[in-house]
Amino acid sequence: DSGVTQTPKHLITATGQRVTLRCSPRSGDLSVYWYQQSLDQGLQFLIQYYNGEERAKGNILERFSAQQFPDLHSELNLSSLELGDSALYFCASDSPNNEQFFGPGTRLTVL
């Protein structure tokens, strides 16, 4: 158990819909990173938050947005969903020595 939690574990929804993925970092960690893993692909960085502020952005679609709340949990919002958005979405938090610890992921299926 990495200490990073993600909910829900699975999401099945239809094209055009909107979903929210939730992540809580390890106790004491201030950063949250979101990654997307499509089928048989490596992980692609989406966005990073640090102590409530956006710090870095990757190839995140405009239909996707995220935020980090004062209690440091983060939410990733995916809207106008397309079939190609089906993927495993991970969040991670990092220790002071740059090790990133991953949550169990949310598997999103868009039908």
Partner 1 sequence: AQTVTQSQPEMSVQEAETVTLSCTYDTSESNYYLFWYKQPPSRQMILVIRQEAYKQQNATENRFSVNFQKAAKSFSLKISDSQLGDTAMYFCAFIQGAQKLVFGQGTRLTINP
Residues paired with 23 in a beta bridge = 6, 74
Closest approach of Cβ 2 to partner 1, in Å? 8
Of 17 and 87, the one with the shorter C-beta distance to partner 1 is: 87
Bridging pattern class, strands 53-57 and 5-7: unpaired
Which spans of this chain sit near partner 1 (rule: CB under 8 A)?
A: 2, 31, 33, 35, 41-45, 48, 50, 56, 58, 88, 90, 92, 94, 97-102, 104-105, 107
Closest approach of Cβ 50 to partner 1, in Å? 8
Of 37 and 80, the one with the shorter C-beta distance to partner 1 is: 37
